[in-house]
Structure formats: structure tokens, C-alpha cells
Chains A and B, each alone.
Chain A
């Protein structure tokens, strides 16, 4: 225990990130099931309005700040030094500090449930002036603010560490144009974090000042401006969406290339697309504010449309990589294909919502809930499971069971779509998001019942994953046969070392003369 609490080894810290994020994922999943139970039928009173507000606030907060984004960075912690041939990250103790700040941040946010008045209940966006009313929101909102402040500082520290590591600690011969695409996506993500997260830190600090030190930044009664809050929040908030997707684009690229038995198609195009997405994402923040009437809609609409172009480039490259490949549909590859199908739907609804006339109609409706879940749950979460199945042998020396893995994928894919497709129709029928109950009109009762049924299937799929982990680890402990260094036939440098890797990662580094050093060694 003490060894893990004091470790500065990037692999152990990466694993701790993933264990922590999966713990928060389970909590967020339970909250999601409570939401679906409440909405299963019209005019339900399973939860009170205040309890429902707390639950959807913490569900969103957990998934965004404590699951999807940090899992990508946690995986980067584990993989970056391995893929570039480094013994560790550039600043191991800073790395450990950032992890513990992140873990503490999660505990602080969730401890709101134990406070008088409950946890934060103003949504993951905590719009001012609602979130400024100290009497109405209580200590739970304060803990939410402090937790997110800690998490934002932790994320900035991790981004700095990863940038320095990738630029300065590459092994001899590992030029920037030879590093795996996952590394490039992490560079783009880290630069994006450095550009966007200071805005979050600033707006949270301003909100704290308003709540406790007599400030009036966002209080219109004293000359403050609530629109300023939205600008500062979304200047972070939209890039954050790409912080939650770019690492997962990297995962998908690695998985697709490995299981198609082909080099990555359009390597340079993928790198340029990653930076184009990161750059453009800085200029789209106010498309979340179209309906305020206080922003320049044509500018933000045009830039939002533009983002579809580099994203489309990525799809072309993934399909090009698979084209005429010797494709093996192992569990990671199934999750990668599931990612592409789901993310495509999320991307297309995103392009629709970039148009202000459509956004005016769909704003704050369940159509939006459908859209962002297709990008972040159907997209990032499926890539997260692809990563877990793909790199689990490297992390723990245990290969997960393929049959259970395929059941996990099938149940999650079916459950996800049965849950979220009806939400598009709920939105079109006018159901507002964040309402704790709804009248029995149109088809809302039926659509919600289907969505709740789908969420049960999805939850069973997730449980199959945990059962897979438990049974595989138990079976491996009985067999006592270590998994091979390269069980999937991977090409990047992490597959050149043992599973799990030794301290400081490599007994001996292979020569690096191309983007696929492990295959070079095998073929030579």
C-alpha cells in the first residue's frame, strides 16, 4: 500500500489513474441508472427534484472531469514513455503530485453528498448567477468548485509533463515523425489543455470570490455579467470536449492499424488533422451560447462547421488503414469499429447543431443529450474499452477473455444505441433536458421506457467487463504463465518490452529506424 502511495513510477501512476477513473465510472454509472429509473415513466416520484438535480450534476461532472478526460491522460502516463523509449516521464514527482491532486479532487466533489443540503445541483456547467446563490446551493457547490479547481491544476501539470517528455525524452532515432499517432494526439491534447484550462481555473476562482469574498463578477444586480461566466466557461468547455476525444482518436488509430496488419494510412494527414481540430476547437466556444443572443452566431457557426473537415480526414484515414487489410475482429477492434459508428452519428448531429436555426429549436432538449452521448459515450467510452482490452496484457501481464470481451462489446453496443437513439426523438418531441419528470404526452412515456431498458442492457455489458477482468486475473494467477511481450502483433515500442514492463521500462531498446520498430526487429 505504502509502495503505491509513494510511487513515482509512471506505469504505476498510469494504472492508479485508470483504477481511479474506473471507480468514478462505476459511481457515475450508478447515478446514470438512478436518472433512468426516475425517467422510466411519466410523472414518476422515485426521486425528488433536488435529488435528481444533484444526481445529474454529479453524473456529468464525474464523466467529464473524473472519467473520460483523465483516463486519456492516465493512459498517456502509462504509454508515453514506453512508446518513445524513455525510462519515465520528465518529472516523476510532479506526475505523482498531479495524480494525488486529481484523486483528492474527486473525493472532494463527491463528498458533497454528505453535506447538509446535498451535493452540487446546478449542472456540470454551474451557470452563474444560479451557482452564485450560496444559500440555495450550499457547501456541496463549494466542494464542487474546490474539487474542480484542484482537478484543473492537476490537469495542467500533467499536460506540461507529457509535452516535455515527448519533446525531450525520445530514444535515439525516435524522431517526431516516427512517434506513434497516439503520441501526436497527446501532444495536441496537452497543448489544448495549456490553452484552455487556465480559463476554467480563472472562472472557478471568480465564482468562489463571488460566493465568499463579496465579489460581483457575474451578478447583474451589482453590474456583473452572467454572459461573462458563459464565455469563460465555454472557452474551456468546448476545447475540453476535444481533450476528451483526441487521445481516443489516438487509441483507435493504434488499434485499427494493429488489427488490420497494415501501416497507418495517411500518417501526416492524421497529425495535421489532430492539430487542426485542436486549433479550431479554440474558436467555437460560443456555439453553446447561440440562444443567448449575445454572441456572433455566424462566426461561431462557420468555425464549428469547419471542424467536421479534419474529423472527416480521420475517418478517411481509419478506413484507408483497414482497406484491403487482413482484419482481425478481436475485442479491441470491435470496440474500435463501434466507436467509429457511434462517433459518426455524434459528429453528424454536431454538424446539425452548428447551424443556429437548428440549435435554436434543439437547445436544451434531449436532442443535445443524444448528440453529446454519441460523441463522448458512444465515442470516447467505446475507445476507452478498446484501450483497456488492447493494453491490459501490457499493464498487468494478463490477457482478458475474448469470448467475454465480445459479449461485453455486443451488450454495450446494443444497450448504448437502445438507450440513446430514443433521446433524439424525445428532443424532437420537445422534451427538455435536466427535468426530473415529464407529462405523459406524445410518445415520451414509451421512448423513455425504451431508453431505460437500453440502459439496463448497457449496465450488464459493463458488468461483463468487470467479470472478465476478475475471471481472467484469477485464471492467470492459477496458470502462472506470463503473457507474451507482444500478444497482438503490435508495431510500436511498448510491445518490445516484457508484459508488464520492468522498472525503467526496457532491458534493451531495439534500433528505431521507422514508425514500426518492433516489426522491423521481427522482420530483420
Chain B
């Protein structure tokens, strides 16, 4: 996870510097400072989460001398090969948005499809 922290930490540092410089030279344009500031805050959040939450994570991919035999038995979880829910969720999301335009009923129907599919997908995950 060192590389993850490094990339997000450096990006946050860069965002902070550029937000500071931008505020210094163009402080009358509040919107730019706010955009850069919020972006920096989000990057800091990701980096801090990785430092605190994933501190003890040990990844096979980070070990330069690890062999396939050494890593045998590692549990990567189960990868599904098919599921009917992704296409239904996408269709439901599309309907939900179209409901904004044409009818709240269409929107509610779309959101209902999304919620039901997410629920069933959760059940599908727990089965595998």
C-alpha cells in the first residue's frame, strides 16, 4: 500500500500547493480556490484512509522475490462470471433519471429497480 499512499499523498500535496498558489495570485476568483481545495481534501482523505485503515495490509504484488508457489493458497475471493443485475441496475438508473424529465412515476419505478437489484446482488454475493 506504500505506492497507493505515495500517489494519493503526493497528489494531495500537489493539490494543496497549486490551490495555495492559485489563491495567492487569483484570490478574487473564489470558485477556483474552492474547487482545488475540495479536490485536495478528497485526496488527503483517501491517503489518510490508506495509512490508517490499510496499515497492516501485505500484498503479494509488493514482494519482488515472491514466487507463485510461495503465494499459493492466497484467497483473492470469488470472481463471478455472470450476473443479470448489472444491466438491470443500469437500466433502472437510466429510468430514474428520465423520470426527472417525463414523470415522477417513471423515476420511482427506475429507482425501485435499482434498489431491488442491489438487494438481490447482495444476496448473490453472499451465496458465492
Contacts and interface: CB of A to CB of B under 8 A. Distances in A.
B75 interface: no
A459 interface: no
Interface string B88-121: 0111011001101100000000000000000001
B67 to A, nearest CB: 6
Interface stretch (A163-171, A307-315, A358-366): A163-171
Contacts of B14: 279
B51 interface: no
A283 B18 contact: yes
B48 interface: no
Contacts of B87: 5-6, 96, 100
Contacts of B52: none
Interface string A221-237: 00000001001100100
Interface stretch (A48-56, A142-150, A462-470): A142-150
Contact of B64 (A142, A175, A286): A175
Interface in A74-97: 84, 86-88, 92-97
Given A6-B82, A93-B85, A170 B66 contact: no
Interface stretch (A291-299, A327-335, A384-392, A484-492): A291-299
Contact of A295 (B29, B42, B79): B29
B86 A195 contact: no
A387 B84 CA distance: 30
Nearest to B35: A235
A173 B65 contact: yes
A279 B36 CA distance: 11
A474 interface: no
Given A8-B82, A172-B66, A87 B76 contact: yes
A489 B83 CA distance: 36
B65 A93 contact: no
Interface in A504-524: 504, 509, 511, 513
A176 interface: yes
A511 B67 contact: yes
Nearest to A178: B64
B120 to A, nearest CB: 11
A286 B18 CA distance: 14
A208 interface: yes
Nearest to A89: B79
A228 B79 CA distance: 44
B15 A100 contact: no
B90 A100 contact: yes
B80 A92 contact: yes
Contacts of B43: 195
A171 B82 contact: no
B79 A172 contact: no
B25 A172 contact: no
A231 B32 CA distance: 7
A194 B45 CA distance: 13
Which of B65, B76, B86, B91 has the most chain A CB atoms closer than 10 A to its own CB? B86
A143 B94 CA distance: 10
A8 B39 CA distance: 32
A208 B97 CA distance: 11
Nearest to A102: B90
Interface string B1-25: 1011001101100110010011001
A153 B7 CA distance: 23
Interface of A: 3, 5-9, 84, 86-88, 92-97, 99-101, 103-105, 108, 139, 142-143, 146, 149-150, 153, 167-176, 178, 187, 191, 194-195, 199, 208, 212, 228, 231-232, 235, 275, 279, 282-283, 285-286, 294-296, 298-299, 303, 503-504, 509, 511, 513
5 contacts: A6-B86, A150-B97, A175-B61, A175-B64, A195-B15
Listed from nearest, the 5 A-B pairs whose CB atoms lie closest are A170-B61, A100-B90, A96-B86, A296-B26, A172-B66
